[in-house]
Chain A
Amino acid sequence: MSSDAVSRAGLPAHFFAVSLSAGLLALMTWFIWSAPPVARTVWLAGGWTFGVLFYYGALRYPHWYWQTLERWYHQLGSPPHFYRIAGLWLPWLVIIATVLCVVGVVWGLAFAPPHHEQGNSYRIIYLHVPASSAALMAYVAMGVAGLVALVWRLKMAEIAIKAIAPFGAIMAAVSLISGAIWGRPTWGTYWIWDARLTSMLILLFMYLGVIALQNAIRDPRQAGQAASLLSVVGVINVVIVRYSVDWWQSLHQGSSMSMFGTAGSAIHPSMLAPLLLCMFGTYFLFAVTVLVRARTEILWRERKSAWVREEVA
């Protein structure tokens, strides 16, 4: 937005930016107004602080903002830069992921109260829900990377897909296995061909398909393009998994957590807190394994270049 054009029209230069941000913040306030008071306060305070700081920064230093965005895009899109930055971040991500997962799991297994109907079997939730959510989130990330790889042919996006797929496959398997074991004492069966369970199994096969496709085609660029296409198309299955419990009659319960839901989360804070820790821990674990695999893939693809030879020597 050029400030000249706007001021010539007789409006203050930042009129549109201010109204847009205020509108977004108002929308956010309206969405989360029905959430529990603590969550609402945290979301609102965080949202407004971030919004105001971002807006103030963008007004004061527009060039700096633009240049930073551009620099990030180039650095993350360039394999040597990505390799270096990922190497700097990895130790911290490992520490955060370990702490969150260990605290969350110990809290969930030993300290959270039991469920009034399911007793202690519900403690599998601290494994099942983070794994399922990470498996779905990873596929969406793969779909976004696939789109970038198809449209801009960015090499890093193809590498990202290759790095994400094994993590997603493992998480989908963990979700299915933990769900089956939880199902036996709760529903009386390990498995039924239910919409939620079947679509989750398909998600696992989609991940295996992406991995198989990458291994079947010899040329890495061609393999990357084929895998990108499958990643983008497969995102439709993520939507099906997410809404399967609403669209079809299902033995699987609906979601008990909600960020903006009308009644907030249907799960008590004493059970929700460790669950959130486990979920964030799993997301950090996602970052860790994806960065490790991406670094490996970068080294192999660039093995003829001088910087890789210096790096491994």
Chain B
Amino acid sequence: MHFDSLAELWQMGVHGPWVWSAYGICVALIALNVVWAVHRGRRVRRDIRGLIRRQSLQEKQ
């Protein structure tokens, strides 16, 4: 590792706040993108299951 300790890695000389805030915000955004895509997939599957259920109920009546 280039740094001698984890504390030095955290401080990054004087640039710790810039580097870690950039990584924090942006990694959160990228993770949000993935979670959002997967979540929408689940919701659409649930909605289609709901459609099928409603349709089969109507057919029975």
Contact present for A111 and B33 (CB under 8 Å):
no
Taking chain B's interface residues, is the majority helix, strand, or loop, or is none over half, making it mixed? helix
Whether A174 pairs with B44 at a CB distance below 8 angstroms is no
For the complex, would chain A's binding face be called helix, strand, loop or mixed by DSSP majority?
helix
Name the residue of chain B whose CB is nearest to the CB of A309.
Answer: B52
Q: A119-B14, A292-B38, A303-B48 are in contact. List 17 more A-B contacts (CB 8 A).
A: A113-B2, A120-B13, A120-B16, A120-B19, A121-B19, A123-B19, A127-B26, A166-B36, A170-B33, A178-B22, A288-B34, A289-B34, A293-B37, A293-B40, A299-B45, A309-B48, A309-B52
Spell out A's residues near B (CB within 8 Å). 105, 109-114, 119-121, 123-124, 127-128, 131, 166-167, 170, 173-174, 177-178, 181-182, 184-185, 285, 288-289, 292-293, 295-296, 299-300, 303, 308-309, 312-313
Docked complex: B1-60 residues within 8 A CB-CB of A: 1-3, 9, 12-16, 18-19, 21-23, 25-27, 29-30, 32-34, 36-38, 40-41, 44-45, 47-49, 51-52
Query: Which residues in A have their C-beta under 8 angstroms from that of B52?
Result: 309, 312-313
Residues of A within 8 A of B27 (CB): 127
CB distance from A8 to the nearest CB of B (A): 56
- The answer on a CB contact under 8 Å between A174 and B36 is no
Contact A112 B2 (CB under 8 A): yes
Chain B residues with Cβ below 8 Å from A119 are 12-15
B16 (CB) vs chain A CBs: closest residue:
A120
How many residues belonging to B are interface residues under a CB distance threshold of 8 Å? 34
State the B residues within 8 Å of A (CB).
1-3, 9, 12-16, 18-19, 21-23, 25-27, 29-30, 32-34, 36-38, 40-41, 44-45, 47-49, 51-52
**B19 touches which of A124, A167, A296 (Cβ 8 Å):** A124
Q: Which of A105, A114, A120, A312 contacts B49 (CB 8 A)?
A: A312
Residues of A close to B29: CB separation below 8 A: 170, 173-174, 177
Task: Provide the residues of chain B in CB contact with A181, threshold 8 Å.
Answer: 18, 21-22, 25
Which residues does chain A contribute within 8 Å of B44, judged by CB atoms?
296, 299-300
The chain B residue with its CB closest to the CB of A186 is B18
B45 close to A111 (CB less than 8 A) = no
